Amino acid sequence: MSFDLAEVFRNMQPFAMAIVATLALMAMAALSVVVERVWVYYRSRAVSRRFAQEAARLLETGQDAALIEGAKKYRASHLAGLLAAGMKTYVEARKQPGELGAMELTRRELARKSEQVSADVRRGHNVLASVGSVAPFVGLLGTVVGIIAAFEGIAKEGAGGLGAVSAGIAEALIVTAIGLVVAIPSVLAFNFLSARADALLLALEQSKGEFLDYLENKRGEGNREGKLREAA
């Protein structure tokens, strides 16, 4: 007895076909997330390198306004958005001093912006996690229903034996296999993208720390705020 996969799909029951279609949609959603995230991470790193070179030059020459304006050219860079938000808060706080010092306000703004960046970097990961965890159960549902239908056919026909149920069982197991084929790459992709996201966020945290160190050390903001606290 030969096993013809194409024949199994041609004779597949409507419910099993609906399960296969659902799994295909889940696979397409997972694939779109992987392609989009890989491109976003690659582009963010590449553009951030160019922005970092320009930002270092502008910081050394004290061109804070030029840095804020120049960051708009690097919209694909998470680093550009992060440092521009921090520098904008710093400049405004220096122009209009309040109860909180410029450095404290800058730290708070960078912390808020970091949360937004983290959410953007991890966008779509929940889709991969959902597909990786749900797809096997969707396939299993199709298998259970398919086996039930196979045995119902035996009951109606009044005949037994492996030949009577082999086609139905094969159809049911194929649905399970499709579920696993969708789930396993999704889990691997989730782990891969999570590692890339962690590396990107770590680099951003280091850059944020270097930026704050620069303001405190080169601009003397740390000493200035310390003296204000002592005077108070």
Closest CA to 208 of 134, 108, 124, 75: 108
Q: How far is CA 42 from the centre of its chain?
A: 13
pLDDT by residue (tens digit) across 69-94?
888 889 899 999 999 999 998 888 88
Instruction: Please state, in angstroms and as integers, the Cα–Cα distance from residue 161 to each residue in 58, 150, 178, following that order.
Output: 81, 12, 26
Residue-level length of the chain: 232
Q: Give the Cα-Cα-Cα angle 67, 105, 77 (nearest 5 degrees).
A: 35
Look up the pTM and report it.
0.81
Structural domain range at position 73:
5-231
- Give the chain's domain count: 1
pLDDT by residue (tens digit) across 26-47?
999 999 999 999 999 999 999 9
